[in-house]
C-alpha cells in the first residue's frame, strides 16, 4: 500500500521520520532509573555492603519493561508534537 505524500483533508506532509522518538524513550528510561533510585534510597536505603543495589536495579528494570509500551507511545507522540510541522491554517479551514 502506497502512502500519499500529502493528506487530502489538511494538507499535512506525511513523511516517514527515521527517529520515531527513540531518543525521547531513552530519556524516559533514564528518568525511571533516577526516580527509582531516589525513592529506593529514601525509603529503603542503598548500601554497597549488602545486596540492596541489586534489588534496586531489579526493581528499576522490571518497572522499565512493564512501562515500555506506554513509554514508546508517549515518546512517539511527544516526538510528533515537537518535531513534525503542523499546518494550523489547514486545520482552521475544516
Whole-number Å distance between alpha carbons of 83 and 76:
10
Q: Is residue 10 situated within a structural domain?
A: no
- Look-up of cell digits 508534537: 81
Rounded to two decimals, what is the model's pTM?
Answer: 0.66
- Count of domains for the chain: 1
pLDDT tens digits for the chain (94 residues)? 566 777 787 777 766 656 666 788 899 999 999 999 999 999 988 887 888 899 999 999 999 999 999 998 888 888 877 776 666 665 555 5
- Look-up of cell digits 534489588: 55
Give just the sign of the alpha carbon dihedral 89, 91, 92, 94: positive
State which residues form the domain around 26: 22-93
Q: Is residue 48 situated within a structural domain?
A: yes
Q: Is residue 8 situated within a structural domain?
A: no
Amino acid at each position: 500500500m502506497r502512502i500519499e505524500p500529502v493528506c487530502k483533508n489538511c494538507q499535512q506532509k506525511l513523511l516517514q521520520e527515521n527517529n520515531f522518538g527513540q531518543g525521547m524513550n531513552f530519556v524516559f528510561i533514564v528518568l525511571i532509573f533516577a526516580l527509582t533510585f531516589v525513592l529506593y534510597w529514601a525509603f529503603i536505603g542503598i548500601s554497597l555492603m549488602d545486596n540492596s543495589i541489586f534489588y534496586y536495579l531489579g526493581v528499576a528494570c522490571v518497572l522499565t519493561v512493564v512501562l515500555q509500551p506506554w513509554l514508546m507511545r508517549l515518546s512517539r507522540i511527544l516526538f510528533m508534537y515537537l518535531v513534525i510541522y503542523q499546518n494550523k491554517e489547514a486545520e482552521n479551514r475544516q
